Homo-oligomer: A and B are copies of this chain.
Amino acid sequence: VNSFTGDLRFSATAARARHSAIADLMVRALVRPGTLSLAAGFTDNAVLPVSIVRDALAHMPAGGGCLQYGSNQGRPTLREAIAAHIGSQHGERPDAVGADGIVMTNGSQQALYLLAQVLCNPGDIVLVESPTYFVVFDVLAGLGIEAVELPMDAAGQVDVAGTGELFERLRAEGRLERVKMAYFITYFSNPSAVSMTEGVKRALGSLVAQHVPWLVTIEDTAYRDLYFSRPYPAASMLSLGEWTGLPLVQTGSFSKCFSPGIRLGFFATNVPALVEKTMCVKGQQDFGSANISQWIAEFAMTRGLFDPFVAGLRVHYQAKAKALDDALGAGGLKALGWRWEMPEGGLMLWLKGPTGLDTGMTGAFCRACMDSEVLYVPGDFCYANAASAPRCNVRLSIGAPPVEDLREAARRFALAAQTVLRG
C-alpha cells in the first residue's frame, strides 16, 4: 500500500484544529461497551420519524426532483414553512422573518460556522453565555476567534448590568471594536436547561443598541419546540421592539425535534447582506444542503405531520426527564449536597455538585463514574474561560438512553457520588 509518512505543511487553520472533548468521551464509551452514556447529545432512536421519512420518499416531487441538486439557499417552500412556523410560536410577530431571510444549512452547526466565517477575523471576539454549548468553543477556536464569557446571575440569566460593565471594560481596553457576534441559547439551553426571560432579552436589546450596534446577535432556538408542558413564554428577539434595527440571526435545527440523520438546520436573519455573504461561502463549501433532507422536512411541515410529531416528542422526553430526575433523587444525591431542577423542556439536566467537588475529567469523581461505567459531560467544558470555570457541575442528557438505562445510569452516578464522598 502506498502510504505517506512524511511531514506535511499544514495551514494555520489545521494548527488551530483540535479534537472535540465530546468526541473523546464518545471514544471512551466505545472502548467499554457496558458503559451507559448520559454524555452524548444524541436523540432517542425510539422516536425517530421513520414513517414520515418513508412517506416523504413515497411522495417525491415530480421527476425525482429531491434527488437532483437544489438551490444554495434551500427549497423555497420549506423556507416559507419555517418562516410561518417561527411566526406562529408563542409571542412572535407573524412576520418576524420572511423566507428570503432564511438559509438552509447542514445542521445549525454549519450556520454558526458560516456566520463566524463571514463576520469574524482571527483575533475577533464572540460573546457567549456561561455555561454554553461547548462545541461552539471548537468552532471559534478553529477560526482563531476568542470566546468571551458574559457575566451571569444566580438564576442562570445573563447579568445585563454586568454586561454593560463588560462593554465599558472592553472599550477601555480598546477591544470593543473586535466584538462581532454574541451567541445565546435562549430556550431550554444546552447545558443549563435555562431559558432567557423576555425581560432580559429586551434589556439586552437596549444595551446592544447603546454600546455595540454593529454586533450580530445569534439566538439559537434548537430546543424551543421541545417544551414539556407549555411553550416558554418569551418571544424571540426578532419580534421584540428593543431589537428593532439591530442585526439578528436566529438558528434552528431539525436535529433535536425531528431527525439528526437528515443533518438539516437553518438560520433566519433580518440582514439581507448576511444571507448574501454566507451563501457565497456556502456555495464554496457544498452548493446547498442535501435536497433529499430538505424535501423530507418540507413534506413533514407542509402535510401537517411535523406538529403532531413534535407533540409526541414532548411527551416522550418529559417522561424521560422525569425518570432521570426521580432516579437521581432516589439515589440520595440531594442529601449529598447535589442541586438541580427538573427541566421544563430540552434534553439536558444540569446538576451542581456539592461545594468542593471536582467533576472535571481528571478528578476522583469522574474516575469513579468511569469505574461505575456511566458517562457525563463535566460542567467545566461548558465555560469559555477554563481558569475560572466552576468545576462542580455536570451535564446529563436524557436524549439517547431508554428509561431503564436512565434509571440504571442514575443509580451508578449516585453510587459514584457516594463513593467519592466517602473518599
Contact = CB atoms under 8 A, between A and B. Distances in A.
Interface of A: 1-14, 17-20, 23, 41-43, 45-46, 48-50, 53-54, 57-58, 60, 63-70, 72, 93, 95-98, 106-107, 109-110, 113, 117-121, 124, 138-139, 142-143, 180, 213-214, 216, 238-239, 243-248, 255, 259-264, 270-274, 277, 280-281, 283-293, 295-296
A67 B95 contact: no
Contacts of A57: 53-54, 57
A142 B48 contact: no
Contacts of A245: 2, 4-6
Given A1-B95, A14-B119, A261-B292, 8 more contacts: A11-B120, A11-B180, A17-B280, A41-B69, A45-B63, A53-B292, A110-B286, A262-B290
Contacts of A9: 119, 180, 214
Contacts of A286: 106-107, 109-110, 113, 263
Nearest to A247: B4
Contacts of A143: 284
Closest 6 CB pairs of A and B: A17-B280, A261-B291, A48-B64, A263-B290, A67-B261, A14-B118
Contacts of A214: 6-9
A270 B3 contact: yes
Contacts of A118: 10-11, 13-14, 17
Contact of A281 (B13, B48, B274, B280): B13
Contact of A8 (B106, B238, B274): B274
29 contacts: A1-B98, A2-B244, A2-B245, A2-B270, A3-B272, A4-B246, A4-B248, A8-B216, A10-B118, A11-B117, A11-B118, A11-B120, A13-B118, A13-B281, A19-B283, A42-B69, A45-B64, A45-B65, A48-B64, A53-B67, A106-B285, A109-B287, A113-B286, A142-B280, A142-B281, A259-B292, A263-B287, A263-B292, A292-B296
A86 to B, nearest CB: 12
A139 B4 contact: no
A6 B63 contact: no
Given A120-B11, A290-B261, A283 B23 contact: yes
B142 A261 contact: no
A180 B9 CA distance: 8
A394 to B, nearest CB: 22
A2 B283 contact: no
B48 A260 contact: no
A67 B49 CA distance: 8
